[in-house]
Amino acid sequence: MTWWHRLWRRSRLEEQLEKEMRFHLDQHTADLIAQGHDPAEARRQARLALGGEEQVKENCRDARGTRWLEDLWQDFRYAVRTLRQRPGFTAVGALTLALGIGASTAIFSVVNPILFEPLPYPHAGRIMMIWDTYEGVRCDVTFHTYRELAARSRSFEAMAVMEAWRPAMTSATKPERFDGQSVSASYFRALGVSPALGRDFQEADDRFKGSHVTILSDALWRRRFGGDNAIVGRQITLDGDLYIVIGVMPRGFDNVLAPSAELWAPLQYNAGNVTNYESGEWGHHLHMVGRLRPGLGVDQARRELNAIARAKVGEFPRPPFASLEHGLIVNSMQGEITRFVKPVLLSVLGAVMLVLLIASVNVTNLLLARGAQRRGEFAMRAALGAGRPRLIRQLLTESLLLAALGGALGMVVAAFGVEALVALSPAGLPRLGAIAVDSAAFAFAFGITTIAGLLIGLVPALHVSRGYLVAGIQQGSRRTAGGRQFMRRTLVVAEVALTIVLLVSAGLLFRSLARLFAVAPGFDAAHLLTMQVQYNGHRYDDDSARRRFLAQALDAVRRVPGVAAPAFTSLLPLSGDQYGVYGAQFEDGNGYDVFRYAMTPGYCETMGIALRRGRLLDERDTAGAPPAVMISESLAKRQFPGQDPIGRRVHVGPTNRPWYTIVGVVGDVKQGSLADRQTDAAYIAATQSWFADDAMSLVVRVRDDVTAIAPAVKNAIWSVDQDQPIVRVTAMDGLLAASESRRRFAMVVFEAFALVALVLAATGIYGVLSGSVTERMREIGVRAALGASRRDILALVVRQGMRLTGLGVAIGLGGAAAASRALITLLFGVSPLDPVTYLGVIALAAGVAAIACWVPAWRAARVDPSITLRAE
């Protein structure tokens, strides 16, 4: 008989066991009678000789070897029955766990593909990013730096550089601009991916003034070209040029460095003319990646590249601004792309684990309370021969079943949660497309469900079986509840403490965000509409055509009713605009990296940027007029401490052109983010710039609804040239808010979790106090009978609750002080020990706890002594 045979034929085996025992007893009895015993006495002796019949049967069942399985099945059926008998308890427990498991799984689903899973490339761990440094901070490499490193380094199989490329395609409808990348020929090889259709870029494609070729993404190919296989070899028009499509990337290709990129073209920089330091090839605007040779570690590559950086060779001259003398930063690509989100994600993951823990503690408390009610049942089962391990198993089966219910519901919560998280996700969250409740998330959910099931069952199980089984069968149970009450109180204290940690974290983030938004960005974001215009086609190859367009577009926009003071800028604050940083060199030779704003007159007035000294650039500063520049206050302080900068001269960008004379000093503007300290900037007239930018941002004051006026403004620009793609149409205050989306994301998630935790902790306090009041009814009755006023009794219960809360808060504050250190990179202008936050959290926790105490206290105060005392 196989084991499952035995299992399924259990009832027959039981029958046979019974029959065998009966036969034995009858035979023995008969023999004893034959020996002259009285029949009743004979029966008694036979039973005695056998020992406890049920005990023997139990031992026989154990000997069968399938015992555990039979028990499991029995326990399972029993657990189902028990849970069904108390739907309210089951629902509360399962929902609480569902919340915890669901939230954890959702967060895990987001965090896993970003932080834990390798990037979706073969041997992704070997892909590195390489940065030049400026004042210890990462900055993009120049093309010639890349050439030198690629030629001299031996650590990499492939090295590649890339930059954003935003070609426009004009069709019958509105002009469309695509996100793309200009890449060196080795880009896809460095990632380890090749096109699904057609061919990869070759070195021959990436030559100065080479032929126009492009590779499309699968999505673009399907959307614009109907997934036509004949696309390879066809020509498409981009920016007025014909490009030959040479390949299509595979469907699942995840371009993590530029997820929105849909097409790629070779960089085609000029490798010659190295000593022309003013050329674009010497601009710091390329991201660099490299694929390590197998078997080489990051450290080796880091050492090699930095050795190259230190040892200049004649073949590769370097200008001072790309001297590499401060070394290079080499780091894994995964580490680099998750650099900013990692602290957020890890802290959120930590927070959700706290929520899960609190939920589990709450359910444990529920089970403990149930254990009290079921004490008689367990005592009876123990008396009937159930061993202690068996009772523990039974309780664990129940808690696991409850957890499984919670886990199943939790998956629903997780599915919604992931959607909400993705909708809420901060800008620049990498690998957004890979976020899903996938098999890894299921495995995670299964794991935490099992752990939670065991944890929540263990405490009550050990408790139920400890000692008082015998006591339980007696009817004095209410007075022997001390041990369990102690455990429940301990758990409530733990719950409060964990909640405090979450509340403090949420509070600190909230205060940071408030501080950040209190930071003056240096401009007035209200009632500002902005949009970016890009030059499309060869008619704008000529800088004067671009400047003419700007002037005409401004005229057209001015005619739109409801708007005022339009202006263009090459670089828009808090927009994520890159590539706006240039060297500024003063007459004394001092040089700084500054943000370069090339703008039309009136830009500072429109933005509300303050004038500190001198004058603003205006209509006088035309192409023919002497070059003039405004510098930011921070730059003025740095270069001219205690002096008047007006009239001094500076080179912005190339040094082989006439000096710009400083005519004004303006207030500092936050360019990258509100938390930025770098605000050194130079403002020049677009007409006096040494080149006309490819894309310009329009800013315009709007009297009423900012977004409602946007179509009219766009049409005004299109009235000048209908082929100009217009993108990033948004209100300036929207950009301001979005610039802090990482902190906001963390704050929203923390606040949600803290709220859940607070509610759970409050129900925990409430549950323990209610249980305690119920058990102390008699005592309270006696007190009332002896003259305690309602007020006294109210105070008695509230005091008990508040003592627990106080203890929890005290422990929690210690935990929070430790935990807030993990948040430090997310905080701004707030100490991790910010007293306001801590006091606020204490007040909040105390208030909520007081409410949770009040209800049971009020019930206790209404105890009628005559009724309770009579009941005993």
Partner 1 sequence: MTAKSDLPQGTLDLLILKVVALGPVHGYAIAQRLQQVSRDVVQVPQGSLYPALHRLENRGLLAADWKDSETGREAKFYRLTRKGRAQLETEAASWQRLTEAVGLILKLSAGGAQ
Contact between 536 and 845 under an 8 Å Cβ cutoff? The reply is no
Residue 866 binds partner 1 (CB under 8 A):
no
If DSSP codes are grouped into helix, strand and coil, which group holds residue 585? Answer: strand
Q: Which is nearer to partner 1, 56 or 298 (CB)?
A: 56
Cα 204 to Cα 248: distance, rounded to the nearest angstrom: 19
Find the binder of partner 1 among 14, 18, 20, 325 (CB under 8 A): 20
Q: Which is nearer to partner 1, 55 or 202 (CB)?
A: 55
Residue 12 binds partner 1 (CB under 8 A):
no
Segment lying near partner 1 (by CB under 8 A), choices 48-56, 300-308, 642-650, 736-744: 48-56
Segment lying near partner 1 (by CB under 8 A), choices 44-52, 411-419, 488-496, 838-846: 44-52
Report, in Å, the least distance between residue 23 CB and partner 1: 5
Report, in Å, the least distance between residue 51 CB and partner 1: 3
- Distance (Å) of CA 505 to CA 342, 496, 556, 814: 17, 14, 50, 12
Residue 49 binds partner 1 (CB under 8 A):
yes
Q: Which is nearer to partner 1, 45 or 661 (CB)?
A: 45
Binding track, positions 356-395, relative to partner 1; x by CB under 8 A: ----------------------------------------
Q: Which is nearer to partner 1, 31 or 644 (CB)?
A: 31
Contact between 247 and 200 under an 8 Å Cβ cutoff? The reply is yes
Find the binder of partner 1 among 10, 24, 388, 778 (CB under 8 A): 24
Q: Which is nearer to partner 1, 65 or 447 (CB)?
A: 65
Segment lying near partner 1 (by CB under 8 A), choices 21-29, 104-112, 267-275, 468-476: 21-29
Contact between 630 and 662 under an 8 Å Cβ cutoff? The reply is yes
Query: How many alpha carbons fall within 13 Å on the CB side of residue 241?
Result: 15
Pairing mode, if any, of strands 681-685 and 591-599?
A: parallel
Segment lying near partner 1 (by CB under 8 A), choices 59-67, 116-124, 574-582, 640-648: 59-67
Segment lying near partner 1 (by CB under 8 A), choices 13-21, 369-377, 399-407, 536-544: 13-21
Work out the end-to-end distance of the chain between its first and last CA atoms, rounded to an integer number of angstroms.
56
Contact between 26 and 66 under an 8 Å Cβ cutoff? The reply is no
Q: Which is nearer to partner 1, 60 or 458 (CB)?
A: 60
Contact between 671 and 735 under an 8 Å Cβ cutoff? The reply is no
Six-digit token string for 714: 């766009």
Q: Which is nearer to partner 1, 36 or 835 (CB)?
A: 36
Find the binder of partner 1 among 10, 33, 43, 56 (CB under 8 A): 56
Residue 4 binds partner 1 (CB under 8 A):
no
b (16+ CB within 10 A) / e for 150-178:
bebbebbbbbbbbbebbbbbbeeeebebb
Cα 759 to Cα 753: distance, rounded to the nearest angstrom: 10
Report, in Å, the least distance between residue 762 CB and partner 1: 53
- What is the per-residue DSSP string for 423-447? HHPPTT-TTGGG-S--HHHHHHHHH
If DSSP codes are grouped into helix, strand and coil, which group holds residue 581? Answer: strand
Contact between 562 and 698 under an 8 Å Cβ cutoff? The reply is no
Q: Which is nearer to partner 1, 3 or 208 (CB)?
A: 3
Find the binder of partner 1 among 65, 280, 433, 711 (CB under 8 A): 65
Q: Which is nearer to partner 1, 19 or 548 (CB)?
A: 19
Report, in Å, the least distance between residue 11 CB and partner 1: 16
Find the binder of partner 1 among 39, 51, 252, 272 (CB under 8 A): 51
Find the binder of partner 1 among 10, 28, 285, 637 (CB under 8 A): 28
Find the binder of partner 1 among 15, 38, 54, 62 (CB under 8 A): 62
Cα 290 to Cα 282: distance, rounded to the nearest angstrom: 20
Q: Which is nearer to partner 1, 25 or 440 (CB)?
A: 25
Report, in Å, the least distance between residue 33 CB and partner 1: 13
Residue 10 binds partner 1 (CB under 8 A):
no
Contact between 160 and 184 under an 8 Å Cβ cutoff? The reply is yes
Six-digit token string for 548: 């003419």
Report, in Å, the least distance between residue 392 CB and partner 1: 22
What is the CA angle 311-316-322, rounded to 5? 75
Report, in Å, the least distance between residue 40 CB and partner 1: 20
Residue 14 binds partner 1 (CB under 8 A):
no
Segment lying near partner 1 (by CB under 8 A), choices 57-65, 115-123, 205-213, 631-639: 57-65
- CA-nearest of 179, 281, 191 to 576 is 179
Report, in Å, the least distance between residue 31 CB and partner 1: 8
Segment lying near partner 1 (by CB under 8 A), choices 14-22, 218-226, 536-544, 608-616: 14-22
Report, in Å, the least distance between residue 43 CB and partner 1: 15
Residue 27 binds partner 1 (CB under 8 A):
yes
Find the binder of partner 1 among 26, 203, 228, 419 (CB under 8 A): 26
- CA-nearest of 657, 603, 607, 609 to 633 is 609
Report, in Å, the least distance between residue 3 CB and partner 1: 10
Segment lying near partner 1 (by CB under 8 A), choices 16-24, 471-479, 548-556, 760-768: 16-24
H-helix segments, 125-274:
143-152, 187-191, 218-225
DSSP symbol at 352: H
Q: Which is nearer to partner 1, 50 or 610 (CB)?
A: 50
Residue 273 binds partner 1 (CB under 8 A):
no
Find the binder of partner 1 among 60, 391, 422, 436 (CB under 8 A): 60
b (16+ CB within 10 A) / e for 206-235:
beeeeebbbbbbbebbeebbeeeeebbeee
Q: Which is nearer to partner 1, 3 or 486 (CB)?
A: 3
Contact between 477 and 789 under an 8 Å Cβ cutoff? The reply is no
SS (H, E, C) 38-57: CHHHHHHHHHHHHCCHHHHH
Report, in Å, the least distance between residue 365 CB and partner 1: 40
Residue 54 binds partner 1 (CB under 8 A):
no
Residue 68 binds partner 1 (CB under 8 A):
no
Cα 381 to Cα 58: distance, rounded to the nearest angstrom: 13
Six-digit token string for 98: 């569902």
Residue 16 binds partner 1 (CB under 8 A):
yes
Find the binder of partner 1 among 14, 30, 229, 428 (CB under 8 A): 30
b (16+ CB within 10 A) / e for 751-774:
bbbbebbbbbbbbbbbbbbbbbbe
- CA-nearest of 149, 434, 135, 134 to 289 is 149
Residue 161: strand pairing partners: 288
Q: Which is nearer to partner 1, 28 or 312 (CB)?
A: 28
Segment lying near partner 1 (by CB under 8 A), choices 19-27, 335-343, 402-410, 753-761: 19-27
Six-digit token string for 157: 């199989």
> Interface with partner 1 by CB under 8 A: which residues?
16, 19-21, 23-24, 26-28, 30-31, 49-52, 55-56, 59-60, 62-65
